[in-house]
């Protein structure tokens, strides 16, 4: 469990944004960024001003948030503000010692706290509607999402440990699932098995719903597993899976073959693997993410498959399975030590099959290293 010092260091960085940009404060809407700064993962909003920290939570999350703050030691620094988002009895008691409930929404509560301030309020919002609600309260806002995501992009050692553990759980789940490849098994059965094996090995859950795709279904990068699509004869089998461990995600894709792989499949798979290795060899501090994407595409172009590579090369990964940066031709982010990204080239031939190989990769002082270490040649 992380201590108050871990989170206070992060909250101080948020306060620094307030000071450097001359803001009234920074308001973080509920989601992964609230978890990043407090360790609390339920519904809630974090407000940081020049001299105070507030955590706004709906009454149904009060006890959960209070216990999280107590366990981390943040209760001494962060004030919990409890509100009722819908009609509840006036004499509601959430704990025997009593606590005052605010019958107001978050924008109104925030407006009261920063009402005397004539500067802008920095906001990290999940939805556009939240911006609108703040503007309706006459609060002048400034989007500081990019600033917060830059803080989150470089991982601390304990974050890397959690992502590595999530990767190990994912790999073990795949090993188990591969033993169930047999005629008649469905995509959905294998996806459910992967999820069960993750939970059995200590995962919080999955980082995203497991993708298991056979044959033509593997052409869709975000394929949906089906109960009616079953394994038969000689088939392509694609797994895109990731566990979540203590709040942090992993992401890995492997493509294998049930039966005897065709020469066409092997040719495509070997080209995809070469594209991955080209990008991985280039990855390191000071390298632009667009350069990695280009390196992979050059390999696939050599074999005539570049036209079938229909998505970007990868993405950042941490609390969320998709975080900045995006490894695309248009992204000019320069990689730094401590960043964690995915590298996942793919070839998707309509009406036939798709092949994708994906690893989670840590940028180091000297280059890059694979966090996911599972065998990549499974055909």
Neighbours of 64 (CB within 10 A): 15
Is residue 231 assigned to a domain? yes
Structural domain boundaries, residue 96 = 4-151
Q: Say if residue 199 is in the same domain as residue 262.
A: yes
Is the same domain home to 231 and 307? Answer: yes
Q: What is the pLDDT, as a whole number, of residue 295? A: 98
Number of domains in the chain: 2
Contact 96, 30 (CB under 8 A): no
Please tell me the predicted confidence (pLDDT) of residue 132.
84
Whether the CB-CB separation of 78 and 55 falls below 8 Å is answered with yes
Q: Tell me 262's DSSP state.
A: P
Could you list the mean pLDDT of each consecutive 10-residue stretch along the chain, which spans 379 residues?
85 95 92 95 92 91 91 92 76 62 79 83 87 83 94 96 98 97 97 98 98 98 97 96 98 97 97 98 98 98 98 98 96 97 98 98 97 97
Task: Give the 3-state DSSP-derived string for 181-225, with helices as H, strands as E and coil as C.
Answer: CCCCCEHHHHHHHHHHHHHHCCCCEECCCCEEEEHHHHHCCCCCC
pLDDT for residue 85? 73
CATH of the domain at 60: 3.40.350.10
Cα angle 348-263-359, degrees, rounded to a multiple of 5: 50
Which whole-number Å values give the CA distances from 162 to 22, 102, 343, in the listed order? Answer: 35, 37, 19
Q: Are residues 228 and 349 in the same domain?
A: yes
Same domain, residue pair 61 and 19 = yes
Q: Which residues contact 200 (CB under 8 A, 6 or more apart)?
A: none
Cβ atoms of residues 246 and 324 within 8 Å: no
Detail the DSSP E strand segments found in the chain.
Answer: 25-28, 45-49, 53-58, 78-83, 121-124, 141-143, 205-206, 211-214, 235-241, 243-245, 248-249, 252-258, 314-316, 323-327, 340-343, 346-349, 353-356, 359-363, 368-370
Please, which residues have CB within 8 angstroms of residue 98's CB and are 6 or more apart in sequence? Answer: none
Contact 345, 255 (CB under 8 A): no
Shared domain for 109 and 196, answered yes or no, is no
Query: Do 81 and 174 fall into the same domain?
Result: no
Same domain, 201 and 317: yes
Could you say which of 124, 151, 178 is where a domain stops?
A: 151
CB 114 within 8 A of CB 103: no
Strands (E), 84-192: 121-124, 141-143
Cα–Cα distance for residue pair 368/361, rounded to 1 Å: 7
Q: What does the pLDDT read at residue 109?
A: 85
- 305 and 219 share one domain: yes
Helix, strand, or coil (residue 68): helix
Q: Of 129, 151, 173, which residue sits at a domain end? A: 151
Q: What is the CATH number of the domain that holds 191?
A: 3.90.230.10
Based on the domain organization, do 83 and 205 belong to the same domain? no
Three-class DSSP category at 315: strand
Domain boundary among 151, 181, 213: 151
Tell whether 299 and 270 lie within a shared domain: yes
Could you tell me if 274 and 182 lie in one domain?
yes
Could you tell me if residue 67 is inside a domain?
yes
The gap from C-alpha 180 to its chain's centroid, in whole angstroms, comes to 28
Query: What integer pLDDT is reported at residue 92 of this predicted model?
Result: 66
Q: Do 90 and 202 belong together in one domain?
A: no
Q: Are 152 and 318 in contact (CB under 8 A)?
A: yes
Q: What is the DSSP letter of 106?
A: H
Residue 375 within any structural domain of the chain: no
281-283-287-290 Cα dihedral, nearest 10 degrees: 90
């Amino acid at each position: 469990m992380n201590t108050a010092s871990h989170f206070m260091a992060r909250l101080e960085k948020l306060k620094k944004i307030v000071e450097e940009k001359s803001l009234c404060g920074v308001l973080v809407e509920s989601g992964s960024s609230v978890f990043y700064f407090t360790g609390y993962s339920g519904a809630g909003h974090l407000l940081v001003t020049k001299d105070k920290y507030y955590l706004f939570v709906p009454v149904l999350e009060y006890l959960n948030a209070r216990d999280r703050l107590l366990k981390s030691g943040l209760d001494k620094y962060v004030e919990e503000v409890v509100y009722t988002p819908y009609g509840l009895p006036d004499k509601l008691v959430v704990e025997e010692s009593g606590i005052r409930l605010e019958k107001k929404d978050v924008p109104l509560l925030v407006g009261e706290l920063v009402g005397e301030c004539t500067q802008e309020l920095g906001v990290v919002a999940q939805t556009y509607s939240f911006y609108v609600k703040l503007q309706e309260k006459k609060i002048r806002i400034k989007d500081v999402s990019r600033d917060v995501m830059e803080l989150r992009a470089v991982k601390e050692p304990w974050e890397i440990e959690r992502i590595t553990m999530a990767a190990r759980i994912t790999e073990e789940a795949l090993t188990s699932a591969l033993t169930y490849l047999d005629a008649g098994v469905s995509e959905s059965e294998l996806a459910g098995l992967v999820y069960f094996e993750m939970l059995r090995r200590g995962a919080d859950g999955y980082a995203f719903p497991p993708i298991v795709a056979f044959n033509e279904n593997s052409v869709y990068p975000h394929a949906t597993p089906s109960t009616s699509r079953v394994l038969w004869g000689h088939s392509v089998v694609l797994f895109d899976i990731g566990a979540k461990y203590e709040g942090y995600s992993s992401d890995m894709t492997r493509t294998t073959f049930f039966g005897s792989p065709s020469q066409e499949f092997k040719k495509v798979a070997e080209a995809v693997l070469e594209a991955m290795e080209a990008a991985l060899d280039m990855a390191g501090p000071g390298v632009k993410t667009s350069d990695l994407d280009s390196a992979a595409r050059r390999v696939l172009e050599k074999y005539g498959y570049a036209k079938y590579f229909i998505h970007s090369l990868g993405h950042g990964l941490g609390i969320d399975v998709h975080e900045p940066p995006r490894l695309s031709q248009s992204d000019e982010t320069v990689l730094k030590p401590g960043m964690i990204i995915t590298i996942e080239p793919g070839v998707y031939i309509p009406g036939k099959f798709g092949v994708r190989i994906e690893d989670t990769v840590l940028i180091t002082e000297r280059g890059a290293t694979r966090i996911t270490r599972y065998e990549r040649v499974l055909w």
